[in-house]
Amino acid sequence: MNTVAARMAALGMAARVRRLPRSLTRQGKRPAAPDLVRRQFDAVAADVLWCGDVTEIVTGEGKLYLATVEDLFSRRLLGYAMSAHHDAALTVASLQMAAVMRGGNIDGVIFHSDRGGEYTAARFQAACRHWGVVQSMGRAGCALDNAPAESFNSTLKVEFAYRHRFATRAEARLKIATWIAGFYNTRRRHGALRGLSPIVHEQQITAARAATTMRYQQLIAA
C-alpha cells in the first residue's frame, strides 16, 4: 500500500476529490455547421480563421459569462463580451466587437466554435450572414475540436482570474477587459509566435509582407 495513503488512513484523513470543470456547452436545437477546420488551427494571414467560446467567471454576485473571438493567425483577442446571461446576445456582441476591430471588412472569415446553442441560434447565424462570416463547428463534447479557444480560457483563469476575487460582476468586467487589452494582446508572449505578443506579431508580419510586396513591385517596374 502507498505509504502516504496508509498514513492518511491511520489518521482518519481523506484526500479531497478534485471536481472536473462542468462544460457550458448545451447543444442547440438548430442544425450545426460542418467542421471546416478539423483541428488545423494555423492561419496563413489575419482574418482567415477565427475561433470562439464561452466560459464562466465566478464573482461575489454570481457567475459572469465571457464570450471571446480569437484570430488564430496571431492569437489576438479581437472581440469579447461579458454578461450575467449565457445566451446568443452574448456571442453576437463578441462577434460584433471583432468585426468592428477589423474595420468591418471580414467577408469570408471562418469562425469556428462548439455546437452550443449560443452559436447555432438564429440570432448568431444572422449576425454571421450580415458580416459575411462562415461558421464552422467541432463535434459536441470534444474540447480538442476547439483547442485554441479552450487554451485561452485556461490561460485567462490560471494566470489571472483564479488569482483574484471579484466582489461584483462590474469589477470582473473591468479587470478582465483591462487584462486582455493591456496585457494579453499587447505584452503576453506566445511560444507559437516566436515569443512575441499577438499585436507585435501582427505588426511585424504585416510590415515584412508590405516590404516584400514593395520590392517585388520595384523589380517589375525596373
All cell numbers assigned to 66: 465571457
**Per-residue model confidence (pLDDT) at position 5:** 57
Cα distance between residue 171 and residue 194, in whole Å: 33
| pTM for the whole structure | 0.83
Q: Which residue has the higher pLDDT, 137 or 222?
A: 137
For residue 148, give the amino acid letter.
Answer: P
Express each pLDDT in 55-113 by its tens digit. Answer: 999 999 999 999 999 999 999 999 999 999 999 999 999 999 999 999 999 999 999 99
- Closest Cα to residue 185, out of 206, 203, 210? 203
Q: Which residue has the higher pLDDT, 29 or 207?
A: 207
**Per-residue model confidence (pLDDT) at position 13:** 56
The neighbour count for residue 197, using CB atoms within 10 Å, is 20
Q: What is the chain's mean pLDDT, rounded?
A: 90
Q: Which residue has the higher pLDDT, 127 or 206?
A: 127
CB 70 within 8 A of CB 98: no
For residue 12, is pLDDT > 60?
no
Instruction: Go through the domains of the chain in sequence order and give each one's CATH number.
Output: 23-221 (3.30.420.10)
| Average pLDDT of the residues in 159-172 | 97
For residue 211, is pLDDT > 90?
no
All cell numbers assigned to 58: 465566478
The per-residue DSSP string of 92-133 comes to HHHHHHHHHHTTT--TT-EEEE--BHHHHSHHHHHHHHHHTP
For residue 201, is pLDDT > 80?
yes
